[in-house]
Structure 1
Amino acid sequence: MNRTKTSPTTPTVKEQLLDHAQRFLMTRGYNGFSYRDLAEQVGVKTSSIHYYFPAKEDLVLEAIKAYDALIKEGLAGIDEALPAAQKLALYARGFGRIAADGHRICLCGMLAADIETLPETVRVAVQRFFAYHEGWLARVLVQGVTEGSLTVTSSPDATARALFAGFQGSVMASRLFQAPTRLEEVVASVCGVA
């Protein structure tokens, strides 16, 4: 009989640590929490955290990896055959889920705000995250221009960078003003759908 150590409803200590670390990163940033904060949330000693993640850098890199995988899974679920405007709307809806409770910001967006205090490995991981999303958006913009559904006033790459910055900024503004509609306004300004 094939047995697993935990059931899907009982996360491991490591999974709990990553979950709480992601939440802290999205609400407080890199410098806004400590292993003591995590220990209190999970109910373990800080030495237990060091067992799984010897340094905060290790924890944050693993949190980025898990977050990135979840986001990419969502992007992979967007049907390639859809028109570009619909793809952008679905992409924005994913960002909307980040800000839905009004307190969280994109994990990598929050880390980007801390960029000067991040370890180099974390900085590189955040840059990779941004580059991936800007590339995805550029491909969708090219599709939209080709099919005639979108108009861009500069190169698709430059427009994608501006659009991703708009998404990131709208999530921050949504948190600031407790108004999730800020993200919908960014999407509507680009593709006429919300």
Structure 2
Amino acid sequence: METTKTVREQILDHAISLMMLRGYNGFSYRDLSDLVGVKTSSIHYYFPSKDDLVLEAVHAYTREVQDAVKTIDAGLPAEGKLAKFAKMFGRTLGDGDHICLCGMLAADIETLPEPVRLAVQAFFKANEACLTQIFAEGASDGTLATSATPEQAARAFFAALQGAGLASRLFRTKSRLEEVEASFKLSKQK
């Protein structure tokens, strides 16, 4: 049974989608008004300012991504966890026209209000922390190839995913993400 989303939830969903397509400066309350079918004053009721809306969108998106990360089977070897993480990240791309919300907002960093900038940084740090654990396990079980520390590998991998998301959008293909994951695996042929 599908539940109907509240106006507030619809506003957040559309705001996230628009930002994944256009960035912080690429949408307005008028755009949301048209999509949700309410007056802009109704949007201001829930989110007095665009900064309030964007901050809540980042928090909601972060919770959604972290909940998805928690579903990665802890019993998998590190290589399997890394593959699941990359596939989960790839789902955010939709049909190739979206990129990670926080990746898109990071590109707009100079125009973001301080609380949003800090929330975007927190998103990156949380994902890098998860990946650090995976790379530490991969070094221990011998399934992930890197000459860097687990922290460095995690930052490089997440940055590569973000960059691959941009390139995937540009070329309308998700193969760029698969290449990132494959570059950290040990060869099965020895």
- Per the TM superposition, whether the score is higher than 0.5 is yes
* Alignment partner, residue 71 of structure 2: 77
* Alignment partner, residue 136 of structure 1: 130
* Alignment partner, residue 127 of structure 1: 121
* Alignment partner, residue 148 of structure 2: 154
Return the match for 1:68 from 51, 54, 62.
62
Contact 2:145 2:186 survives alignment (8 Å): no
2:115 maps to a residue whose letter is: T
Separation in 1 of the partners of 2:144 and 2:95?
31
* Alignment partner, residue 27 of structure 1: 21
- Unpaired stretches in structure 2, ≥5 consecutive residues: none
Separation in 2 of the partners of 1:105 and 1:8?
27
Tell me whether 1:97 sits opposite 2:76 in the alignment.
no
Separation in 2 of the partners of 1:191 and 1:132?
22
* Alignment partner, residue 185 of structure 2: 191
Separation in 1 of the partners of 2:19 and 2:112?
12
Contact 1:170 1:182 survives alignment (8 Å): yes
The percent of aligned pairs where both chains have the same amino acid is: 57
2:99 maps to a residue whose letter is: I
TM-superposed CA distance for 1:192, in Å, is: 5.3
Tell me whether 1:43 sits opposite 2:49 in the alignment.
no
* Alignment partner, residue 178 of structure 1: 172
Offset from partner CA, 1:19-46 (integer Å, 9 cap, x none): 1000011000000001011001111111
2:116 maps to a residue whose letter is: V
TM-superposed CA distance for 1:155, in Å, is: 1.3
Partner SS state of residue 99, structure 1? coil
* Superposition TM-score, scaled by structure 1 size: 0.93
Contact 1:100 1:180 survives alignment (8 Å): no
Tell me whether 1:112 sits opposite 2:106 in the alignment.
yes
* Superposition TM-score, scaled by structure 2 size: 0.95
- Unpaired stretches in structure 1, ≥5 consecutive residues: 1-6
1:71 maps to a residue whose letter is: V
CA RMSD of aligned residues (A): 1.3
Tell me whether 1:53 sits opposite 2:51 in the alignment.
no
Partner SS state of residue 95, structure 1? helix
What is the aligned residue count?
187
